[in-house]
Amino acid sequence: MRLSNVQSTIHEMTGEAMKELFLELSRSVYWPAILKYLDERSEFIVGGLKTLDPFREPTQTARTQGLLLGLRDLEDAVNSQVDDEEARIKDQEKDNK
């Protein structure tokens, strides 16, 4: 997909559509590969973070921490949607009894 098409899709996507896609992603065969990639990148970033002196290089330290946070945020967002969906299903099952 071309970048302009991706940007258009992102602009038009609703919050609800994003949640549905997160749930679909969590059930896909691609999710474990994405998690593995995130883990490998996180290890690389943590290794770089250990080499920085936060007093001498505060800006670079903050940027590196931001990268790590950004990588983990995707996983947290997807897991949050999965947890919300599981709770909703359990509530529905209780209501149907």
Higher pLDDT, 91 or 6: 91
Compute how many other C-beta atoms are within 10 angstroms of the C-beta atom of residue 67: 16
- Examine the pLDDT at 76 and tell me if it is beyond 90: yes
pTM (two decimals)? 0.72
Please give the tally of structural domains in the chain: 1
- Read off φ and ψ for residue 14, nearest 5 degrees: -85, 165
Looking at residue 80, its pLDDT comes to 92
Structural domain that includes position 74: 3-96
What pLDDT does residue 1 have?
61
Helix ranges, the chain (H): 3-12, 15-27, 31-50, 58-96
Q: What is the pLDDT of residues 28-65, one digit of tens each?
A: 999 999 999 999 999 999 999 999 999 999 999 999 99
